Structure 1
Amino acid sequence: MVVLNKIYTRTGDKGQTALGNGARVEKYSARVAAYGTTDELNSFVGVARLEAAGETANALSRIQNDLFDLGADLCRPGMDKDAEAEYPPLRAVPEMVDRLEAEIDVMNKSLDTLRSFILPGGSALSAHLHVCRTVARRAERHAVELAASEDVNPVAIRYLNRLSDWFFVAARMANNGGKDDVLWVPGANR
């Protein structure tokens, strides 16, 4: 259980922050960018939940919890040192990716095949989910960049990749099952 009885610590006032293993790094480090963008995504998912109901709201709630776990994974370097850890660190697991894929498959069965790119928009929920999709892609890019120089759980990267797909399909579902998708018309304003 986490206990936070004091919100400010002043330990970051000089531009550094603590990672999950206690190491201090610059706030602009690749690792902080990866888990910080994951945190940003979680906030956008919270905004999308304001428009969601039923199973979509439940799925977004699960995703928010996953994203917090994922942030904990990304802020804890040294996967090879997990066995030495005082307590087992949270790590993204393949079952998280499997769940997203199963949910994508269920949603996608009721959608017509795309014959055009779609523009973000339509319903408010769809627009919010498209924002989530693009922020998930940015979080994935940061995680991939981090993985080029440091240890990163590969499942974390797979999760972010699949999550952006989930948001895309869910955005179509939020547009009346894709019937109200806003289609891109190449060169329409020339």
Structure 2
Amino acid sequence: MAEILMLHHVHGLTEGLCSLADRLRASGHTVHTPDVFGGRTFASIDDGIAYADRIGHDALLEAAQREARHHPHADVVMGFSMGAGPAQHLAQVRRRMRGCVLVGGASSAEMHGSTWRPRVALQIHVADPDDWCTADEVGALEREVPTAEVYRYPHQRHMFVDPSTRDYDADAADTFEERLNEWLLRLDA
């Protein structure tokens, strides 16, 4: 089973993400859910972005790196929106990582100072279109990692997977979770 480091989005570590982590644990995975917002959650993206800006991009990345050091056996990293950048960075630089799931975020591997490591499985889930993650960003990473599984969810909004947000769509979230669980099973095979 996987040991997952789950990095939250700009709304914070919401009940919706905690519930997903609990379902993954019930399936036998170990899931760590660090809270870089210290318990704060935000109903609006603008409020969450303002708070994240006060913390700073470098501090958010350092928090993810600290959590990876604190959980040295974590071998899968999962990032949601704001957490996708740090998740992708960890997947590219931490030798123990064997899998990465990006939800609502992706960027060229070059943006993280290295190429994608060929032995790291990648799964990407994005709304189509997505106001916060462009098709060009996803396409760049998809070209760099031809083995990546990329799922686009037509007519969805950015954080469609989280029932704590206004973007939530139950059917699309169920499809996401089915794809995630199947991918984790294949990763363990």
| Structure 1 length-normalised TM | 0.26
Choose between structure 1 and 2 for higher RCO, CA contacts under 8 A separated by at least 6 residues: 1
Whichever of the two has the greater Rg, that structure is: 1
Higher strand proportion (structure 1 or 2): 2
Q: Which has the higher helix share?
A: 1
- Give the structure-2-normalised TM-score: 0.26
